[in-house]
Amino acid sequence: MTDPVREFYMNARDYDLISGHGVAGDVAYFSRLARGARRVLELACGTGRVTWPMARAGARVTALDLVGEMLALARERGASENTPVRRRVRLLEADMRAFALRERFPLIVIPFRAFQHLLTVEEQMDCLACCRKHLTRQGRLVINLFDPNLRILAAHMQSGLPGPVTRVETRLDGDERLIVWSSRTLSPEQQRMQDQWVVERFDAQGRSISRRLHTLTLRWCYRFEMEHLFARCGFRVLSLEGGFDGQPFTHGQEQVWTLGLA
């Protein structure tokens, strides 16, 4: 059986067009950290959106992802970088729940909510155990999650319906168009949200040339649940911010955790 995460991300170009934008300010934030640390391990690097800027900032970056197609696009992106920057990046196909590298890093980062692909506590703990093994004694682990918005969850529970269907249209090169229809179903008992996407591509004459159905499931995580999880996995919380521009933690926005070894 194909892993649903692989199935979703193997259409790497579609992903990049639809939701490859990240969180406001995150690239500058991680680049700044990388400049200071000099050596970085990035988990679930995707198409290299954060990887290449961190390398441009002067850091040597080991970046891993589960999906070969995402890494292929990351590699392609790197072709336009100068030679010293290209040499500082190592892209690896690996699972953030089970990896073993012969190196410890002063900085490990998991940007853009990728940790929320881990749907069970066991998977989360496996990932954090790997992080622990790869962090230097004084090292920092930085993880970004979205903070679940309880107003949206409550509205969903009242109606009992999947979320409204949204439609986003993107104009592509050569006058092609991509139309994405999506709807979200929430499962509060499991703290999971499942997005269903229909992605349809049209040629310049308006003829449909491909239509794909994707499903993506993410786990939402509450603030104090994460504090317990980190403590259980041997980390101490150094800070929790509400975004990448120094904002305080606020309900329903971002969780930006900075952790050290306990």
Binding site for ligand SAM (CB under 6 A): 5, 9, 22, 44-46, 49-50, 65-67, 70, 95-97, 111-114, 117
Q: How far apart (Å, rounded) are the C-alpha atoms in residues 258 and 141?
A: 6
Which of 103/137 has CB closer to ligand SAM? 103
Task: Name the residue with tokens 């155990």.
Answer: 129
Which of 37/114 has CB closer to ligand SAM? 114
Which of 46/106 has CB closer to ligand SAM? 46
Which of 202/216 has CB closer to ligand SAM? 216
Rg of the Cα atoms in the chain:
19
- Nearest distance in Å: CB 45, ligand SAM: 5
- Nearest distance in Å: CB 113, ligand SAM: 6
Which of 47/202 has CB closer to ligand SAM? 47
Q: How far apart (Å, rounded) are the C-alpha atoms in residues 225 and 239?
A: 15
Whether 136 contacts 105, CB under 8 Å: yes
- Name the residue number minimizing CB distance to ligand SAM: 46
- Nearest distance in Å: CB 20, ligand SAM: 6
DSSP state of 24: T
- Nearest distance in Å: CB 110, ligand SAM: 7
- Nearest distance in Å: CB 27, ligand SAM: 9
Which amino acid belongs to residue 123?
E
Which of 98/155 has CB closer to ligand SAM? 98
- Nearest distance in Å: CB 136, ligand SAM: 22
